[in-house]
Chain A
Amino acid sequence: AQSVAQPEDQVNVAEGNPLTVKCTYSVSGNPYLFWYVQYPNRGLQFLLKYITGDNLVKGSYGFEAEFNKSQTSFHLKKPSALVSDSALYFCAVRDPISYSGAGSYQLTFGKGTKLSVIP
């Protein structure tokens, strides 16, 4: 079974400082990994994904994530945080080996990390 953990419920960072939101995963094969962001009273928005290739993935709004297979991690990063980055962030994983029926593509989500960027 696939699973994902976000060890921090909340991350606080000062505006202009680098930010990191942590994610670790467990799958039986090579993972497909995703990051989403949710602003208040909105749906989830896709930020970036890792499928294969370069371990450093660049996404929307200046975010990037680093895939580390040995540590089974996929941490989200940004060099300089903005107040507008304050939101709820979700990591998700898809195990391409697991078969969940008739070609469905289920994602397993972490519980989310609330990022607060302090002016």
Chain B
Amino acid sequence: DAGITQSPRHKVTETGTPVTLRCHQTENHRYMYWYRQDPGHGLRLIHYSYGVKDTDKGEVSDGYSVSRSKTEDFLLTLESATSSQTSVYFCAISVGGATYEQYFGPGTRLTVT
């Protein structure tokens, strides 16, 4: 999984609680991404980062925030979890320019009850 770890791998939480997912990479890549995967929707981009403290919104950013205080860590926070945020969340890195593919972490399965 390209030196990418995600934690936790599984989480069950209650509606209204905040949740933070962590993505950690070991290879000092500049670009990092958070996606969610849902049946019938494929992967949709939530937020991405192009450097420490440099982040921007993706296609489905409402209800999510991110932070990147170190190159190796990219955190995704659900400010107040809702059942619609039950999903599998994937972190990815890109090794460089537009021609380079993205590499994905193993995913976090989040259930909001």
Contact = CB atoms under 8 A, between A and B. Distances in A.
Interface of A: 32, 34, 36, 41-46, 49, 51, 90, 94, 96, 100-107, 109-112
Interface range for B? 20 to 34
B98 A44 contact: no
Contacts of A96: 98
A104 B101 contact: no
Given A43-B1, A44-B90, A105 B98 contact: yes
Residue in A44, A49, A109 with the greatest tally of chain B CB atoms within 10 Å = A44
A94 B98 contact: yes
B92 to A, nearest CB: 8
B106 A107 contact: no
Nearest to A45: B104
B104 A111 contact: no
Contact of A102 (B44, B50, B92): B50
Contacts of B33: 106
Task: Give me the 4 closest cross-chain CB pairs, A-B, nearest first.
Answer: A43-B104, A111-B42, A109-B43, A109-B42
A43 B100 contact: no
